[in-house]
Chain A
């Protein structure tokens, strides 16, 4: 369980995180979604006490992180940037982390086995690929068998097999009743992994809730209709308050009415329907429309001179 209340972080006059309040409940995978620079990593660092909030507070499993007697047993952390000395072997790194909490060596071997690092455990971390580094980070997070996991971009750099593995791992951890909080800017990954999402942009929470609710709230559920009398139907439902779009002749996308309502409207007007399908919006579209105004580092084809001059 993670509870953040009115959390704010400023660096000089730049506000990285601006008064965000959210809860990550146990037993679910909660995604933290936002474009680069939105404040995801800063928030996660504040949760585990690496960065001190300018104001507000955050608790993990009922206490501020630093107040826990055995932090590694409460919270497993994978941060986005590397947090390992490249001169140490993977096993030495895990041993130093385990030693702080008197975690036995056999647990170190277990997490090495679990994350598929057995073959490289005695190699120095400096030579690791991004994907192996991520596996080591996940192994570190799992050392204390924690009740809560906080993972910043865990699938970054993993091969497809690794991505599937992380997804299964996180799902099974949540099913065991643990709290799983992961950040990503990959919407598709979130859609497959997360139950809930918290969307952040420019340091503020844009929306949060169960994945499908967020999508529906943004887009409304569309209904795809095919009819030889499409234009008649479009006129009817538009009069009824729905919005209609059409990308090909004979096919409509209707928002604002349920499939039942459309079907009944069509029947009442004796119009023929060839298709009546609810279309669920996808997370990617929802995300793009949510964060359209919240992208800090927008990739623009050309930066105007005035804009550059103002900086």
Chain B
């Protein structure tokens, strides 16, 4: 069946000037790549589920929190509805991080990177396209996560009169801020994955940085360490994700400063990743 080799392409392939390497094509290639893997869909689905479950758990604890502050006699820091609905980001960021890491380390572990870089030998467009596709996907999954979280917490929030008002700027600061934060986590992870190249090493490093560091640093009571801690991504993000200052871990960072600080991390890893991608042998 295969002995009848038709090697030549139809003439149109030679004469068609549209057939050439371009960033639009690389973008399309990267989106097909990401969406043609089952692991992507698993990761996206678990992000939504995890976000919704955590929001639900937070909503369920509202009753308990209310009782506690009543017992204490003074109103403690109260979570607002928007924070309850978006609270799942603390777990959603983990699956989003894994997605960002695997987008590049999956290529190294399977050897796909060699195919990718022979098609796009200038290399940097590959990383740029991955960053764009990943950002879009994260925005979509973050938005879906919010809608689902909103829906599942609605009955409980109604009971406490905490349903986030969709015409309040605060609500959109938190919702928009949450999606923004997830995008920075995805890009930070993509950059870290590009630097480290190995899936397990990159996942350990990124999750350690996002989760463990904020748990360890409080035990080091040096002033500058505490200062530094307020600038870690998860802490700095509370500058715009927590509406009540007493719930924020960002020190005296204003919301906009928080937005900037959070962006520094992906900027650093993606830039370093780009330099290494350009220089290293594949």
* A, B: real partners: yes
List residues of chain A with CB under 8 Å of any chain B CB: 45, 48-52, 65-66, 68-73, 75, 77, 79, 81-89, 92-93, 95-97, 99-104, 107, 110, 113-116, 140, 142, 144-145, 161-162, 164-165, 168-169, 172-173, 176
Most chain A CB within a 10 A radius of its CB, from B25, B36, B114, B115: B115
B3 at interface (Cβ–Cβ under 8 A)? yes
Residue of A nearest to B280 (CB): A52
Docked pose: A82 CA to B115 CA in angstroms: 9
Between-chain CB contacts (< 8 Å), 11 pairs: A66-B122, A70-B20, A83-B111, A84-B115, A93-B115, A96-B30, A101-B19, A103-B13, A114-B6, A142-B7, A172-B7
Docked pose: A161 CA to B1 CA in angstroms: 10
User: Which of chain B's residues have a CB closer than 8 A to the CB of A49?
Assistant: 117-118, 121
Docked pose: A226 CA to B19 CA in angstroms: 64
Closest CB in chain B relative to A100 CB, distance in Å? 4
Contact B19–A70 (Cβ < 8 Å): yes
The answer to whether A100 and B21 touch (CB under 8 A), given A49-B121, A83-B112, is: yes
Docked pose: A137 CA to B87 CA in angstroms: 46
Most chain A CB within a 10 A radius of its CB, from B13, B38, B118: B118
A-B pair count, CB < 8 Å, reads: 143
Residue of A nearest to B112 (CB): A85
The answer to whether A85 and B7 touch (CB under 8 A), given A48-B121, A92-B32, A102-B22, is: no
Docked pose: A83 CA to B107 CA in angstroms: 9
Docked pose: A114 CA to B10 CA in angstroms: 13
Q: Which B residues from 28 to 70 make CB contacts under 8 A with A?
A: 28-30, 32-33, 36-39
Of all A-B residue pairs in the complex, the 5 with the closest CB atoms, nearest first, are A145-B9, A116-B2, A66-B121, A99-B29, A92-B36
User: Which of chain B's residues have a CB closer than 8 A to the CB of A72?
Assistant: 21, 118-119
Residue of A nearest to B279 (CB): A52
B215 at interface (Cβ–Cβ under 8 A)? no
Contact B7–A169 (Cβ < 8 Å): yes
Contact A164–B25 (Cβ < 8 Å): no
User: Which of chain A's residues have a CB closer than 8 A to the CB of B121?
Assistant: 48-49, 65-66, 68, 71
User: Which of chain B's residues have a CB closer than 8 A to the CB of A70?
Assistant: 19-21
Closest CB in chain A relative to B52 CB, distance in Å? 26
Contact A100–B29 (Cβ < 8 Å): yes
B72 at interface (Cβ–Cβ under 8 A)? no
Contact A71–B119 (Cβ < 8 Å): yes
Contact A100–B3 (Cβ < 8 Å): no
Contact B6–A110 (Cβ < 8 Å): yes
Most chain A CB within a 10 A radius of its CB, from B6, B14, B39, B119: B119
Contact A79–B13 (Cβ < 8 Å): no
